[in-house]
Amino acid sequence: MLGKMGLKPFSIYEINELTHGEPDSPRIVSFKMRPKDGQKVTFIPGMFSSLFLNPNDKLFRSYSIASSPNEDYLEFMIELINGKFTSQLAKLKEGDEIYVSEPRGAFLFDSNGGGKDMFLAAGIGIAPFFSMLRYLKQMNQKKDIYLFYSIKHRDDIVNPLELETYKALGLKVIYTVTRDPDSIPWNGERGRINIKMIQSHAPDFAHRTVYLCGGIKFVKDLVEELKAEGMKDEEIKRDIWGE
């Protein structure tokens, strides 16, 4: 299939590091891998690759790259949901081989654009934003960005301490929990990200380039809400996961 799309099907990578999430979110696992041929892979933050477990497999899944293009490895942040593919991924160990397609996609971060941005992420939809933020930090580039990050529970935040460090670049993070009961103390927002929440933190949102990443309902609902506020389709970049 990838061949038909004019892409080299895949390269062989070795898994070098497997890091499981915090005790409260053990399903999120970071997979760091390096190409066995030592070739540096080039990509733009926001792109994804498809992973295969065996060279002849028809089964593959796509994952956003979470590492910066400046690294000699690729990192993927994957939520192991015990589905067809993730149940197989869960069995992998450091040192195992995995087959990775060339990065591709249209969800491309414009790091040089002088404008302001707004990142909207749901759950593990945060992954491509790590690539973008890590890249900015390595390039020592400041950017005015709001990140609205929705998680089910307060302990689901991926790499909260790392996200803190990006405040120095100009990042403002608004966390919102969607499933924690009110009895659990929490300083952030509650409920799904919606236009009211966006307006209250980022009144200039309509003058920002929007990057949206998450499941289909999350993305579609927010695109509708942003368009209803007068934003143009081309100002809203989106990466939709799922059918």
Ligand X SMILES: Cc1cc2nc3c(=O)[nH]c(=O)nc-3n(C[C@H](O)[C@H](O)[C@H](O)COP(=O)(O)OP(=O)(O)OC[C@H]3O[C@@H](n4cnc5c(N)ncnc54)[C@H](O)[C@@H]3O)c2cc1C
Spatial CB neighbours of 9, under 8 Å, sequence gap ≥ 6: 2, 3, 99, 101
Tell me the one-letter amino acid at 223. V
Looking at 15, 78, 132, 157, which residue binds ligand X (CB under 6 A)? 78
Q: Which C-beta is closer to ligand X: that of 61 or that of 201? A: 61
| Environment class of 83 (CB within 10 Å of its CB; exposed 0-12, middle 13-18, buried 19+) | exposed
Q: First vs last Cα of the chain: how many Å apart?
A: 18
Minimum CB distance to ligand X, residue 35 (Å) = 19
Q: Which C-beta is closer to ligand X: that of 75 or that of 189? A: 75
Q: Which C-beta is closer to ligand X: that of 163 or that of 202? A: 163
Minimum CB distance to ligand X, residue 157 (Å) = 15
Q: Which C-beta is closer to ligand X: that of 86 or that of 201? A: 86
Our finding on whether 131 is near ligand X (CB under 6 A) is no
Looking at 11, 18, 35, 62, which residue binds ligand X (CB under 6 A)? 62
Binding to ligand X (CB under 6 A) within 31-60 occurs at 48
Give the residue from 147, 142, 138, 133 showing the smallest Cα distance to 113: 142
Minimum CB distance to ligand X, residue 9 (Å) = 17
Interface region with ligand X, contact rule CB under 6 A, candidates 30-38, 123-131, 133-141, 203-211: 123-131
**Strands of 108-233, DSSP E:** 116-122, 145-151, 171-177, 189-190, 208-215
| Environment class of 75 (CB within 10 Å of its CB; exposed 0-12, middle 13-18, buried 19+) | buried
Minimum CB distance to ligand X, residue 76 (Å) = 6
Instruction: Beginning with the edge strand found earlier in the chain, give each strand of the sheet holding 145-151 in spatial order.
Output: 189-190, 171-177, 145-151, 116-122, 208-215, 236-241
Our finding on whether 211 is near ligand X (CB under 6 A) is no
Distance CA 170, CA 111 (A): 13
Looking at 121, 127, 210, 226, which residue binds ligand X (CB under 6 A)? 127
Looking at 1, 5, 12, 81, which residue binds ligand X (CB under 6 A)? 81
Minimum CB distance to ligand X, residue 160 (Å) = 18
Interface region with ligand X, contact rule CB under 6 A, candidates 72-80, 96-104, 108-116, 167-175: 72-80
Distance CA 125, CA 142 (A): 23
| Environment class of 56 (CB within 10 Å of its CB; exposed 0-12, middle 13-18, buried 19+) | exposed
Distance CA 95, CA 15 (A): 5
Our finding on whether 64 is near ligand X (CB under 6 A) is yes
Q: Which chain residues interact with ligand X by CB under 6 A?
A: 48, 61-64, 76-79, 81, 83-86, 123-124, 127, 239, 241-242
